[in-house]
């Protein structure tokens, strides 16, 4: 969440910063601001609302400067407002700071600054504390002041700082929040995510935890928490700015839905040897290692958690190891039983999700082996894992995850197959046929997407429903949770998912005439039971939209509408059944006039608790 962009060089910093902030809008925000060093002073402009509001405020003012920092804020401490927007200034207005994260001891620091130094705070934010702390320590050396301030702070943060009397310097610090430095020619950049810089640089430094980076037009130097200079390999970004553009689609979300066949093909085809066996690049797991695991935890948040639910089913079925799926924010606080015979699988699109990262560290501290499934190369989760499996989804810009989810599913299938085959719990014949079926998914998904017009038509009929239930059994239940989440997060409809067998244990009391119930019935061995559940809600007046495999036409007699997915083995239906749900959520949200790529109150990368 939030976005940081900084520039030091000879070009107009303001223009570069605003352009970079626009490329980070997908992260979610409610205000924006920019500060530059100009003629020995800091010139500050910030405004609540979108970046367009900030641009209107700036108007024709060039804010001429080669050094500046900018920020898009997602409110935590203090409501969205002009005064709470970043950057924040020190009391003497000589220091400007932008901050992602949360300062946990800000109340204590604010009291100290007020009582001992007479500081009068302008905002309600925890972030202003940082500017004021640096301000009281500043005596002409910006690095010194930043180090002293950071030593007093507790929490998670990425900060970027400029001083009025140091016009060619930016100092930034990272602790549990993403930060990168871009390497230009005669200029350098700081940012919270790669898309902000893609237009300008392809070579970056990945800043590690508890590191400080000092940028001037001619150098980028990295220091550890004891002020020792650190050597860092350059990371070369392999995707270009076009990958982060809409390319003619109305929204990023729609583009990313249509990119799923390619993402799935890339994720599996890159992982197969010539003999058809799986090569898990980034994973060095032997048969002895696999046989030594007596338990697997899959830990994630949101959509990644839903991918984990499918992963549990697949790994248990193929590798015959008990798997527990947990929400990262719960796992880290419940003292779970983990030891050196535990495999901990972390799933995260961004690789920067704070709760997932903290859970990973807790598991590692207790001796678990950590395998991460992430989309962002070089992210924190990836760097702190023993083994890494990249999803090859490409950049995902829309807040509502689509292609990251399906490629995470593909990774779960490949991990399960690899473990099962190495362990000997599945035969080579079964393995080969499963791989062949997975290879066919991309083509089947391409064909399914041609039916998007049918789903668009259904959305025009059903977009005004204010309460929707999703039900399914087995793997369909796991997909139901994801379908419900997609609908609620971008259309703001009160959506709820439940295992179909649980309906009669309370939830069916909420079914009224006209209630929309989306039913998934893609599991052949559970098909008849699902028909019974559909009849239960239909008898109470529900409007039923069903998803089933081609050929299972009996469901039409029990449903108002049916969407069909291509016939396939039960185990891989989630790769196909989730796509109609994604499209339905998209078209319903469009009919309701919602901001699809940037839903209210949501952020792409959640780097606070």
CATH number, domain containing residue 515: 3.40.50.10490
Whether 603 maps to a domain, the answer reads no
Joined tokens for residue 440: 């066919």
Whether 170 maps to a domain, the answer reads yes
Handedness of CA 390, 395, 398, 399 (dihedral sign): positive
pLDDT tens for each residue of 393-431? 877 888 899 999 999 999 999 999 999 999 999 999 999
Nearest residue to 190 (alpha-carbon basis) of 151, 210, 217: 217
Active site residues: 2, 604
Looking at the structure, tell me whether residues 293 and 151 fall in a common domain. Answer: no
Q: What is the pLDDT of residue 605?
A: 55
Joined tokens for residue 338: 């983990």
DSSP secondary structure, 406-423, as one string: HHHHHHHHHHHHHHHHHH
Least confident of 408-417, 485-494, 594-603: 594-603
CA angle at 334 for the pair 333 and 339, rounded to the nearest 5° = 105
Residue 513 pLDDT greater than 70, yes or no: yes
Domain ends where: 447, 464, 482? 447
Joined tokens for residue 101: 């994260």
Least confident of 36-45, 88-97, 389-398: 389-398
Q: What is the number of structural domains in the chain?
A: 3
Looking at the structure, tell me whether residues 394 and 543 fall in a common domain. Answer: no
pTM for the whole thing?
A: 0.80
283-292 burial, b at 16+ Cβ within 10 Å, e below that, comes to bebeeeebee
Q: What is the pLDDT of residue 241?
A: 60
Least confident of 57-61, 129-133, 343-347: 57-61
> Which H/E stretch holds residue 252?
helix 252-258
Reported as half-sphere exposure (CB side, CA atoms, 13 A), residue 264 has a value of 30
Looking at the structure, tell me whether residues 482 and 560 fall in a common domain. Answer: yes
Give percent of the chain above pLDDT 70. Answer: 97
Looking at the structure, tell me whether residues 207 and 167 fall in a common domain. Answer: yes
Looking at the structure, tell me whether residues 10 and 112 fall in a common domain. Answer: yes
Q: What is the pLDDT of residue 28?
A: 66
DSSP secondary structure, 47-66, as one string: EES-HHHHHHHHTT-----S
pLDDT tens for each residue of 232-244? 999 888 766 666 6
Kind of pairing between the strands at 203-206 and 229-230: unpaired
Looking at the structure, tell me whether residues 201 and 300 fall in a common domain. Answer: no
Domain ends where: 220, 240, 260? 240
pLDDT tens for each residue of 519-565? 999 999 999 999 999 999 998 999 999 999 999 999 999 999 999 99
pLDDT tens for each residue of 132-155? 999 999 999 999 999 999 999 998
Whether 596 maps to a domain, the answer reads no
Cα 261 to chain center, whole Å?
20
Whether 463 maps to a domain, the answer reads yes
Average pLDDT over residues 83-98: 95
Cα 148 to chain center, whole Å?
32
Looking at the structure, tell me whether residues 230 and 261 fall in a common domain. Answer: no
pLDDT level of residue 375 (50, 70, 90 thresholds): confident
Looking at the structure, tell me whether residues 440 and 540 fall in a common domain. Answer: no
Q: What is the pLDDT of residue 356?
A: 93
* Range of the structural domain that residue 176 is part of: 3-240
Whether 221 maps to a domain, the answer reads yes
Residue 604 pLDDT greater than 60, yes or no: no
Looking at the structure, tell me whether residues 436 and 465 fall in a common domain. Answer: no
Residue 117 pLDDT greater than 80, yes or no: yes
Looking at the structure, tell me whether residues 129 and 265 fall in a common domain. Answer: no
Average pLDDT over residues 247-264: 92
Whether 131 maps to a domain, the answer reads yes
d(CA 423, CA 289): 10
Domain ends where: 447, 463, 478? 447
Residue 285 pLDDT greater than 90, yes or no: no
Q: What is the pLDDT of residue 314?
A: 97
**Beta bridge mates, 511:** none
Nearest residue to 358 (alpha-carbon basis) of 252, 348, 80: 348
Q: Count other Cβ atoms within 10 Å, centred on residue 327.
A: 16
* Averaged pLDDT score across all residues of the chain: 92
d(CA 351, CA 379): 5
Q: What is the pLDDT of residue 377?
A: 77
Q: What is the pLDDT of residue 244?
A: 61
Residue 77 pLDDT greater than 90, yes or no: no
Q: Which residue has the tokens 């390319």?
A: 247
Q: Is the distance from CB of 474 to CB of 313 less than 8 angstroms?
A: yes
Q: Is the distance from CB of 462 to CB of 516 less than 8 angstroms?
A: yes
d(CA 21, CA 64): 18
Q: What is the pLDDT of residue 549?
A: 96
d(CA 310, CA 201): 38
Give percent of the chain above pLDDT 90. Answer: 77
Looking at the structure, tell me whether residues 443 and 492 fall in a common domain. Answer: no
DSSP state of 226: T
Whether 247 maps to a domain, the answer reads no
Nearest residue to 530 (alpha-carbon basis) of 570, 490, 471: 471
pLDDT level of residue 195 (50, 70, 90 thresholds): confident
CATH number, domain containing residue 229: 3.60.20.10
Whether 604 maps to a domain, the answer reads no
pLDDT level of residue 197 (50, 70, 90 thresholds): very high
Looking at the structure, tell me whether residues 82 and 188 fall in a common domain. Answer: yes
């Amino acid at each position: 969440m939030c976005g940081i962009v900084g520039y030091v060089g000879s070009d107009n910093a303001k223009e570069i910063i605003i352009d970079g902030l626009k490329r980070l809008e997908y992260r979610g925000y409610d205000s924006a601001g920019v500060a530059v060093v100009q003629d020995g002073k800091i010139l500050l402009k910030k405004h609540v609302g979108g970046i367009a509001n900030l641009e209107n405020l700036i108007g024709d003012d060039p804010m001429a400067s080669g050094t500046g920092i900018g920020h898009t804020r997602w409110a935590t401490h203090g409501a969205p407002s002009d005064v709470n927007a970043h950057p924040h200034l020190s009391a003497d207005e000589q220091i400007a700071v932008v901050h992602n994260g949360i300062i946990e001891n800000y109340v204590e620091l604010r009291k100290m600054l007020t009582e001992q130094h007479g500081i009068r705070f302008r905002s309600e934010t925890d972030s202003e504390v940082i500017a004021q702390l640096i301000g009281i320590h500043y005596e002409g050396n910006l690095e010194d002041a930043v180090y002293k301030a950071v030593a007093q702070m507790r929490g998670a943060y990425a900060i970027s700082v400029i001083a009025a009397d140091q016009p060619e310097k930016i100092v930034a610090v990272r602790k549990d929040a993403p930060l990168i430095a871009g390497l230009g020619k005669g200029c350098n950049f700081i940012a919270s995510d790669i898309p902000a810089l893609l237009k300008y640089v392809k070579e970056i430094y990945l800043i590690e935890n508890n590191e400080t980076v000092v940028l001037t037009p001619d150098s980028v130097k990295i220091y550890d928490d004891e002020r020792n200079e650190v050597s860092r390999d350059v990371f070369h970004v392999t995707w270009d700015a076009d990958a982060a553009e809409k390319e003619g689609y109305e929204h990023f979300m729609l583009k990313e839905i249509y990119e799923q066949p390619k993402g799935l093909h890339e994720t599996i085809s890159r992982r197969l040897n010539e003999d058809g066996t799986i090569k898990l690049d980034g994973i060095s797991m032997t048969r002895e290692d696999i046989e030594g695991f007596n338990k697997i935890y899959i830990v994630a948040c949101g959509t990644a958690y839903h991918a984990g639910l499918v992963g549990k089913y697949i790994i248990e079925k193929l590798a015959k190891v008990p798997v527990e799926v947990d929400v990262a924010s719960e796992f880290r606080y419940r003292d779970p039983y983990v030891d050196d015979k535990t495999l901990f699988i972390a799933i995260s699109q961004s690789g920067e999700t704070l709760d997932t990262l903290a859970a990973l560290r807790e598991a590692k501290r207790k001796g678990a082996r950590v395998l991460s499934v992430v989309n962002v190369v070089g992210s924190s989760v990836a760097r702190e894992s023993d083994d890494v499996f990249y999803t090859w989804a490409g950049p995902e810009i829309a807040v509502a995850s689509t292609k990251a989810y399906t490629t995470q599913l593909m990774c779960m299938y490949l991990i399960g197959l690899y473990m099962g085959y190495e362990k000997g719990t599945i035969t080579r014949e079964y393995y080969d046929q499963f791989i062949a079926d997975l290879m066919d998914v991309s083509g089947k998904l391409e064909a399914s997407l041609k039916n998007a017009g049918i789903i668009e038509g259904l959305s025009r009929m059903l977009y005004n429903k204010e309460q929707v239930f999703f039900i399914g059994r087995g793997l369909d239940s796991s997909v139901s949770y994801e379908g419900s989440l997609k609908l609620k997060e971008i259309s703001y409809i009160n959506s709820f998912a439940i295992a179909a067998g649980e309906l009669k244990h309370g939830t069916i009391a909420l079914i009224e005439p006209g209630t929309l119930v989306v039913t998934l019935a893609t599991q052949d061995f559970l098909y008849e039971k699902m028909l019974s559940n559909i009849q239960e809600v239909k008898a109470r007046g529900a409007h039923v939209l069903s998803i089933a495999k081609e050929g299972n036409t009996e469901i039409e007699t029990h449903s108002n509408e049916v969407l069909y997915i291509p016939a396939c083995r039960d185990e891989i239906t989630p790769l196909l059944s989730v796509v109609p749900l994604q499209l339905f959520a998209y078209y319903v949200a469009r009919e309701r006039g919602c901001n699809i790529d940037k839903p209210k109150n949501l952020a792409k990368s959640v780097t606070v608790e």
